[in-house]
Structure 1
Amino acid sequence: MPLPLNNLSAFHNDVFQETQLGQLCGRKELFRERYLILRMLGRGGFGVTFLARDWSLPGKPLCAIKQLCPRVSAPSALETARRRFQREAKVLALLGSHSRIPSLLDYFVLEEEFYLIQEYVRGMTLARLIRRYGCQSETVVKNWLREMLLLLEYVHSNGAIHRDIKPQNVIRCEDDGRLVLIDFGAVKEQLVKVLELSTKCTTTHFVGTAGFAPPEQMALRPVYGSDLYALGMTCLYLLSGKAPLEFDRDRMSSNVQWRTSEGFRGTERIALSKSFSTILDKMLEPSLQRRYQSAAEILADLDSLLPRDDLFRCLNQAPAPPKEEPPSVVEHLSSIERMARSIRESKARRDRKTPKQNLPRTC
């Protein structure tokens, strides 16, 4: 049955009326005689994504169909866009061989519209997880950061820049718990460039999200370090629940003042280890020269500093005082009674596997 368009917001209503996928949504008619369009997954400034079933494959698996905007109508511009789209789609297909990046199943241009067919990842975005479960601890965020850095090492080693890392573009897969990075921006950036050339105008549009994108990306010059900055801002979101634009910035240096912002975690102040705070500060450097240059550099600092934090916490935790018997009781025990007590306590220690320093010493 077709969806009741009168119940949709105006923001979504035009998608269902003006796009072919929207018109097919909820109907039995197949897109390209293959895909059954189920519902809209999301919409952004450069396209709209629908959930579909691929009826040509056994089991009719789910997939995500992304229709990219804007339209390019001039023949020469369309041919340029087609070449760039195919080139970037091939890079995306290569990256999709990684378990933490959705596989690219197909890509094509149809009636001057650009489409990507990708693996559908069932799960919840980090943004939704924070809204549902609240801010995360330093330990959880460190583990998340390590996963993402290992993934970015792979992405950057293949010459790709994501351009739009943020909580909404990272999914925690409900099947196996792995983090999956979605919505790469390279294809969208190429189509924007073609549109600018075809209309002979210069726009201020950039691929990314304000607040998560660093200064050089806002100036349309993204580099590998731009992804690292966005990753740092995502860590702050996981720790605080605050969007980047909610933090104050130093007027002179443009540094994010996350250490001194009031209500960093509601009414609480989050306590981060010195080493992790130092890493975040360097990831969030507005200056590209002072920022980390690669994911490997951050991983090296995590590997060298985190063990020190663990050792520091151990050394600064005073051992629990021994539970000694009252002196009056111990003093009146015979030597045989003391030996029997010592044997019983030694056996109890072995059974409970309790460290010896936490038990009374009886000699």
Structure 2
Amino acid sequence: MSYCVNPNCPHPENPEFSERCQACGSRLLLRDRYRVVKGLGQGGFGATFLAQDEALPGEPSCVIKQLRPSGTAPHVMQMARELFEREAKTLGSIGNHPQVPRLLDYFEEREQFYLVQEYINGLTLQQEVKRNGMLSEAGVKQFLSEILPLTQYIHERKVIHRDIKPANLIRRAQDSRLVLIDFGAVKNQVSQAATSASGQTALTAYAIGTPGFAPPEQMAMRPVYASDVYALGVTCIYLLTGKSPKDLDYNPTTGEMMWEHLVHLSQHLQEVLRKMLEVSVRNRYQSAEEVLRALEMEPYLESLANSLVSQPV
């Protein structure tokens, strides 16, 4: 099937090798090489599609993200274009990591912006939990040992993901490694590239993320590296309980997530998660590296506790 990416098309499905959409007349081959075969998701920023690259042998699959500016006025388009190109280059640089999809191409066509990324075959952590059940404490520690160095790598390149959650973590089928997808920076900045009456532009409009996974400072448009740490903490709670943030209770006074009664964990991991989930960013771990160091302290703390207990009175 060929799929039309025109956001206003009433019937986007077309026969496999069609050149133009039968419903709206739009050309179906993007950049004369990418044939979209189905939609993967849609949001306020645009849409995501599965496509085939007909310019390469074997026509390998790829993911295409269509980003829609919030207006078509020349100054809006120019701002969107500059932000898009800058952020695409950022994605290109972090895509050199084996746990981040490679950026294969980016372009503008018919006043829409497109990112082409490597297709990752596998299940998301959300799908895994629904299929196989919750993780044990050991499973969550293994998850953190794999995802925290990646988060640190991203932060060292001055990028805040802003949408870490189980649905954006795919376990790649070929090697079982976790891959972090759907970086928020580009889709946010391009879709909001319009100057409002107050003069606010996409440079300051950073309210992005998934409610429940995004901490208060991020929802208040002031994301920091520790915002990703909070989202990782919420992801751990999901992996341990199978419950999304919307299904949990919160302390009405502090706004803290109430999760301890749902799990049986060592005191050390409980304390680490509690600090990752601090509502106040000042009290939270400030970096992924800090969380890693805290986790690595566990055997030393256990050894110290045992030595104190075993000492004669």
The alignment's TM-score, normalised by the length of structure 1, stands at 0.75
The reply on whether 1:77 has 2:76 as its aligned counterpart is yes
Which among 283, 297, 306 is matched to residue 304 of structure 1? 297
Contact 1:147 1:179 in 2 (8 A): yes
> Quick check: 1:273 aligned with 2:266?
yes
- How is 1:201-240 mapped onto 2 (pairs within 5 angstroms)? 206-240=207-241
Residue 97 of structure 1 and its aligned partner are, at CA, apart by: 0.4
Whole-Å separation in 1 of the counterparts to 2:304 and 2:171: 31
Q: How does 1:177-188 map to 2 (within 5 A)?
A: 177-188=176-187
Contact 1:21–1:50, Cα closer than 8 Å, also in 2: no
What is the aligned counterpart of 1:291 among 264, 279, 284? Answer: 284
More helix by share: 1
Is contact 1:16-1:23 (8 Å) kept?
A: no
Q: Does the C-alpha gap of structure 1 residues 275 and 19 become closer, same or farther in structure 2, counting only changes over 3 Å?
A: farther
- The amino acid that maps onto 1:290 is N
Matching of residues 322-333 of structure 1 within 5 Å? none
1:245 corresponds to which letter in structure 2? K
Cα shift readout 1:44-83 (whole Å, capped 9, x = no counterpart): 3322111111111122211001111344301011001100
- After superposing on structure 2, the runs of 4+ consecutive aligned residues of structure 1 that deviate more than 3 Å are 14-17, 19-29, 196-205, 306-313
- Whether 1:93 and 2:86 are equivalent positions in the alignment is no
The aligned amino acid for 2:242 is G
How has the CA–CA distance of structure 1 residues 222 and 65 changed in structure 2, closer, same or farther, with 3 Å as cutoff? Answer: same
Higher relative contact order (CA 8 A, sep 6+): 2
- Distance (Å, rounded) in 2 between the aligned partners of 1:20 and 1:118: 27
* Amino acid in the other structure paired with 1:58: P
Contact 2:2 2:37 in 1 (8 A): no
Whether the 8 Å contact between 1:247 and 1:257 is mirrored in structure 2 is yes
Partner residue in 2 for 1:18: 8
* Amino-acid identity (%): 47
Q: Trace 1:15-164 onto structure 2 (pairs within 5 A).
A: 18=8, 22=12, 26-29=16-19, 30-164=29-163
- CA distance in structure 2 between the aligned counterparts of 1:115 and 1:23, rounded to whole angstroms: 20
Deviation per residue, 1:61-120 (Å, 9 max, x gap): 110011113443010110011001100110000000000000001111111101100000
2:57 aligns to what SS in structure 1? coil
Tell me the distance in 2 between the aligned counterparts of 1:161 and 1:25: 40
Which residue in 2 is equivalent to 1:360? none
The amino acid of 2:241's aligned partner reads S
Contact 2:45-2:188 within 8 A present in 1 as well: no
Aligned counterparts of 1:206 and 1:101: Cα–Cα separation in 2: 23
User: Structure 2 vs 1, CA of residues 162 and 25 (structure 1 numbering), >3 Å: closer, same or farther?
Assistant: farther
Over the residues paired in the alignment, what is the CA RMSD in angstroms? 2.8
**3-state secondary structure, aligned to 1:297:** helix
Q: Matched residue of 1:57: which SS?
A: coil
Contact 2:194 2:201 in 1 (8 A): no
Q: 1:139-165, CA deviations, whole angstroms, 9 ceiling, x for partnerless residues?
A: 011111111100011000000000000
Q: Which consecutive residues of structure 1, in runs of 5 or more, have no partner in the other structure? A: 4-13, 265-269, 317-363
Is 1:40–1:51's contact at 8 Å kept on the other side of the alignment?
yes
Give the deviation of 1:311 after TM superposition.
Answer: 9.6
The verdict on how the C-alpha distance between 1:65 and 1:15 changes in structure 2, with shifts beyond 3 A counting, is closer
Q: For the residues of structure 2 that align with 1:15 and 1:37, how far apart are their CA atoms? A: 8
Compared CA separation, residues 198 and 146, structure 1 to 2 (3 A): farther
1:133/1:286 Cα in 2 relative to 1: closer, same or farther (>3 Å)?
same
Q: 1:251 to 1:176 in 2, by over 3 A?
A: same
SS of match in other structure, 2:194 = helix
* 1:252 partner letter: T
Unmatched tracts of structure 2, length 5 or more = 20-28
CA displacement at 1:31 relative to structure 2: 2.5
Give the whole-Å Cα distance in 1 for the aligned partners of 2:200 and 2:93. 33
User: Deviation at 1:199?
Assistant: 9.7
Preserved contact between residue 2 and residue 38 of structure 2 (Cα < 8 Å): no
Alignment match, 1:252: 253
Secondary structure in structure 2 of the residue aligned to 1:289: helix
- TM-score, normalised via structure 2 length: 0.86
Query: What letter corresponds to residue 275 of structure 2 in structure 1?
Result: K
CA distance in 1, matches of 2:140, 2:16: 39
Deviation, 1:310, is 8.9
Letter in 1 for 2:219: M
